[in-house]
A and B are shown apart, each in its own frame.
Chain A
């Protein structure tokens, strides 16, 4: 298998070109957006809950590299029907196994962007714990 085929597996390209659960849910119970400062990937994830904080539907939009968008698409399939509390502590390995390709540290950030954003959305509406790397306050500069 060539390097290309290893990374841009059929299933990755499939999710990239035909993302699942695409579009922001309206109405929704939770929404968050995030960027990957390394390459400018952007993802917005929205969630609607059923009974008992079960994720009934999830929808995302974004722009960015094939890995970031395909990974978010795969993530949305993985989380449906599971509870906010469970997904808030979902391990990254679960998604990475699904993606199933070797990723350098830089590309890992692309692959995990959607998952971080989803956890932020859950945190906002259900108070679940934030992923560590999103929990730190970075402060901001405002000018007139």
Chain B
């Protein structure tokens, strides 16, 4: 391949210890970054240093070590706030993950604001994380649960919006910025403006977008936005929710316990200020610090460089797969697609495809990718998915294609 990538993968690859593990003389071709990314030394080293030199529980300690720990934790919050262009750090709540962040909104906002006659609107390609919590809260509150349909290319059919809004009942819209199954980049700004015209709030799942393109909650015009650290080179067990301050202020807490209170009495408990009202208990401290280090790492590379790098790889992968008439690629055209390629090998189940690719040293994901309604819409039980990140290279796409030929020879 000959493309002008603005990002030097060869240099970056030296940051990733997983590539030092060789099988048959070659490192793994890890093409499952949409599921979770590998970790660079910078993040691992930062977490280790934190545990070795700065670790104590946060917020309550008077001694200097606890102060340093708190500083590490709070500076990670600052990093996240800057990363998503939040107007205030107080609007950034650490959660366990995107999943927990969305559950927080669904429970804390949803139970308070939804009822019979209201409608919750999500999309047909939503990840279960931004689907099932809303379905559950809708059923608990008696609200209706509807979806924005997609077309055959996996793009949202925005011309269906006005029909959905006919009875003026939409109170919340849940939409992913990038589809984890198809890579579709959804027009969230447009949907946010429309949602606000309906008097609804909009909750954006940015788990799959934040690692790959710069996020600006103010430009998006959303009300809540969720992301996970492990998808952008950081550790598992930590994610964040950004929410508009007025909404967060009037919401009841989600988890209750220590840390989220101002005062507790036998007859009355007062909640803490933002963001602590939503952070009950001891948080994932070192993980938050690692999350911050991961954001520093990827912003150091540059989000637009990452986006362009993945765009070129995706272009290359789609062209190579296009040569195989027994492979069908799902999803939108390259221009509106992030670094994700979902496909089907004629006559071979994705699980068997992934199994054989693994023996060729190529790791891909096979399954419904937590988007069963989407799979139903596409008329398949599952797909095989290759996805890219900063350490991905064109040679790995070649290895994928060579592996697919083996799949075809043996099972096709």
**Does residue A1 face the partner (Cβ distance < 8 Å to B)?**
no
Give 1 or 0 for each of A51-72: 1 = CB within 8 Å of chain B CB: 0000000000001111110000
**Which residues of A lie under 8 Å from residue B138 when comparing CB positions?**
143
Chain A residues at the B interface, C-beta cutoff of 8 Å: 2-4, 7-8, 13, 38-42, 63-68, 107, 110, 141-144
How many of chain B's residues touch chain A, expressed as a range? 20 to 34
Q: How far is the CA of A67 from the CA of B354 in the complex (A)?
A: 13
Give 1 or 0 for each of B398-411: 1 = CB within 8 Å of chain A CB: 00000000100011
Query: In this complex, what residue of A is CB-closest to B116?
Result: A144
**Which residues of B lie under 8 Å from residue A41 when comparing CB positions?**
349, 351, 381
| B134 → chain A closest CB, angstroms | 9
**Does residue B51 face the partner (Cβ distance < 8 Å to A)?**
no
- Whether A142 pairs with B382 at a CB distance below 8 angstroms is no
| B329 → chain A closest CB, angstroms | 19
- Most central of B352, B359, B382 by chain A CB within 10 Å: B352
| A6 → chain B closest CB, angstroms | 10
**Does residue B144 face the partner (Cβ distance < 8 Å to A)?**
yes
Chain B residues at the A interface, C-beta cutoff of 8 Å: 132, 135-136, 138-139, 142-145, 349-352, 355-356, 359, 366-368, 372, 375, 381-382, 406, 410-411
Known: A38-B367, A40-B381, A66-B349. A3 touches B139 (CB 8 A): no
Known: A40-B382, A64-B381, A143-B145. A4 touches B410 (CB 8 A): yes
- Whether A64 pairs with B139 at a CB distance below 8 angstroms is no
Interface pairs A-B: 4 shortest CB-CB = A40-B381, A65-B351, A65-B349, A143-B145
Q: How far is the CA of A67 from the CA of B366 in the complex (A)?
A: 14
Query: In this complex, what residue of B is CB-closest to A42?
Result: B381
In-complex Cβ contact of B355 among A64, A107, A141 (8 A): A107
Known: A39-B350, A40-B381, A141-B139. A66 touches B145 (CB 8 A): no
| A91 → chain B closest CB, angstroms | 25
Known: A4-B356, A39-B366, A39-B382. A66 touches B139 (CB 8 A): no
- Whether A39 pairs with B351 at a CB distance below 8 angstroms is yes
Q: How far is the CA of A8 from the CA of B410 in the complex (A)?
A: 9
**Which residues of B lie under 8 Å from residue A65 when comparing CB positions?**
349-352
Q: How far is the CA of A20 from the CA of B374 in the complex (A)?
A: 32
User: How many A-B pairs with Cβ below 8 Å?
Assistant: 62
**Which residues of A lie under 8 Å from residue B372 when comparing CB positions?**
40
Q: How far is the CA of A110 from the CA of B355 in the complex (A)?
A: 13
- Whether A66 pairs with B135 at a CB distance below 8 angstroms is no
In-complex Cβ contact of B139 among A8, A40, A107, A143 (8 A): A143
Query: In this complex, what residue of B is CB-closest to A3?
Result: B359
Q: How far is the CA of A81 from the CA of B138 in the complex (A)?
A: 49
Query: In this complex, what residue of A is CB-closest to B410?
Result: A4
Q: How far is the CA of A99 from the CA of B280 in the complex (A)?
A: 50
Known: A40-B367, A143-B135. A8 touches B351 (CB 8 A): no
- Most central of B143, B355, B406 by chain A CB within 10 Å: B355
Q: How far is the CA of A42 from the CA of B351 in the complex (A)?
A: 13
- Whether A7 pairs with B355 at a CB distance below 8 angstroms is yes
Q: How far is the CA of A3 from the CA of B366 in the complex (A)?
A: 19
In-complex Cβ contact of A39 among B135, B142, B356, B367 (8 A): B367
Query: In this complex, what residue of A is CB-closest to B144?
Result: A144
- Most central of B349, B368, B375, B382 by chain A CB within 10 Å: B349
- Whether A8 pairs with B411 at a CB distance below 8 angstroms is yes
Known: A8-B411, A40-B375, A64-B351. A141 touches B366 (CB 8 A): no
Q: How far is the CA of A107 from the CA of B349 in the complex (A)?
A: 13
- Whether B351 pairs with A67 at a CB distance below 8 angstroms is yes
| A67 → chain B closest CB, angstroms | 7
Q: How far is the CA of A4 from the CA of B406 in the complex (A)?
A: 10
**Which residues of A lie under 8 Å from residue B359 when comparing CB positions?**
2-4
Q: How far is the CA of A13 from the CA of B348 in the complex (A)?
A: 12
20 extra interchain contacts, Cβ-Cβ under 8 A, other than A40-B381, A63-B381, A143-B139? A4-B356, A13-B411, A39-B351, A39-B366, A40-B375, A41-B349, A42-B381, A64-B351, A65-B350, A66-B352, A66-B411, A67-B351, A68-B351, A110-B351, A141-B132, A141-B139, A142-B139, A143-B138, A143-B145, A144-B145
Q: How far is the CA of A131 from the CA of B135 in the complex (A)?
A: 29
**Which residues of A lie under 8 Å from residue B366 when comparing CB positions?**
39
Q: How far is the CA of A14 from the CA of B263 in the complex (A)?
A: 69
Q: How far is the CA of A39 from the CA of B384 in the complex (A)?
A: 10
| B328 → chain A closest CB, angstroms | 16
Query: In this complex, what residue of A is CB-closest to B359?
Result: A3
- Whether B349 pairs with A64 at a CB distance below 8 angstroms is yes
**Which residues of A lie under 8 Å from residue B368 when comparing CB positions?**
39-40
- Most central of B136, B143, B351 by chain A CB within 10 Å: B351
**Which residues of B lie under 8 Å from residue A4 when comparing CB positions?**
356, 359, 406, 410
| B90 → chain A closest CB, angstroms | 33
- Whether A141 pairs with B136 at a CB distance below 8 angstroms is yes
| A19 → chain B closest CB, angstroms | 14
**Which residues of B lie under 8 Å from residue A141 when comparing CB positions?**
132, 135-136, 139
**Which residues of A lie under 8 Å from residue B367 when comparing CB positions?**
38-40
